[in-house]
Amino acid sequence: MTKITAIIPTLNEEIHIAEAIKSVSFADEIIVIDSLSSDKTLEIAAQFDVKIIKRTFDDFSSQKNFAIEQALHSWIYILDADERVTPEVEKEILEAVKNPQDFVGFYVRRSFYFCGKKINYGGCQRDKVVRLFLKEFCRYNGSPVHETIETKGKLGFFKNKIEHYSYKSYDHYISKMNHYGALRGKEFFEKGKKVNLYHFLIKPPARFVIHYFIRLGFLDGFPGYIFAKTQAYGVYTKYLKLWLLKKGIKEN
């Protein structure tokens, strides 16, 4: 019961994968489930003692659930490739699996880094995710992009934070936004969602206002401004993808 399987979902994560694997080296088993990367992700991962699974991506929930089914151990730690488990959180993880105190999973908070700068506001101050859990009581569900984890039992909280290096460069950010936008746009399209000028002229600026002013992003200075702008761009992207699908316009 005290052994842990760490699972790292990947798609073109060559800039992150080595450090991600190192940060969960405490796990008894590490699975890299890859969505057919075209960069050096798997070449780098193969240099470590990990189990590599290649699987065509359908949605985040299905991808993670499939990997969980392959895990040898009951305790699962999910790590996005752009996250790092700190020594403090590692200690909490190991203590939790030895003495879970009736919890079936645990939330961990994240310190968010954007293009190398730590973002303390803009909504990031409330960021928390379930990362450690017993697979018998937990399963992923939700939309193709924003998956959630359903649990049958109580959830605890870790005191310390992991590090979340969401975007290492602007180009990396644009690449991820296009990927997420395409997934979200397809979801909207399949649900028959409409798109009009409101979604382009009002919703992106509104998202900027939320992150920069309401969620105090301005306290992070210029990085906070850029972060809020990129969040607005993410909103614009998903509706652009939806509009292109409705018009039958294929992208190269």
The architecture (CATH level 2) of 4-167 comes to Alpha-Beta Complex (3.90)
The pLDDT value recorded for residue 192 is 95
The pLDDT value recorded for residue 91 is 98
Over residues 161-188, the pLDDT tens digits come to 999 987 767 777 778 888 889 999 999 9
Q: Do residues 141 and 150 make contact, with C-beta atoms less than 8 angstroms apart?
A: yes
Of 86, 57, 68, nearest in space to 8 by CA: 68
Give yes or no for residue 71 having a pLDDT over 70. Answer: yes
Mean pLDDT calculated for residue range 43-49 = 98
Half-sphere exposure of 65 (CA within 13 A, CB side): 16
Chain region(s) in the chain for CATH 3.90.550.10: 4-167
Among 26-35, 85-94, 177-186, 232-241, which stretch is predicted with the lowest mean pLDDT?
A: 177-186
Over residues 113-152, the pLDDT tens digits come to 987 789 999 998 888 999 999 999 999 997 667 788 999 9
Q: Do residues 149 and 119 make contact, with C-beta atoms less than 8 angstroms apart?
A: no
Evaluate if pTM is beyond 0.85.
yes
The pLDDT value recorded for residue 151 is 93
Give yes or no for residue 37 having a pLDDT over 90. Answer: yes
Residues 6+ apart with CB under 8 A from 36: 11, 54, 55, 56, 57
Mean pLDDT calculated for residue range 205-223 = 96
The band of 153, judged by pLDDT with boundaries at 50, 70 and 90, is very high
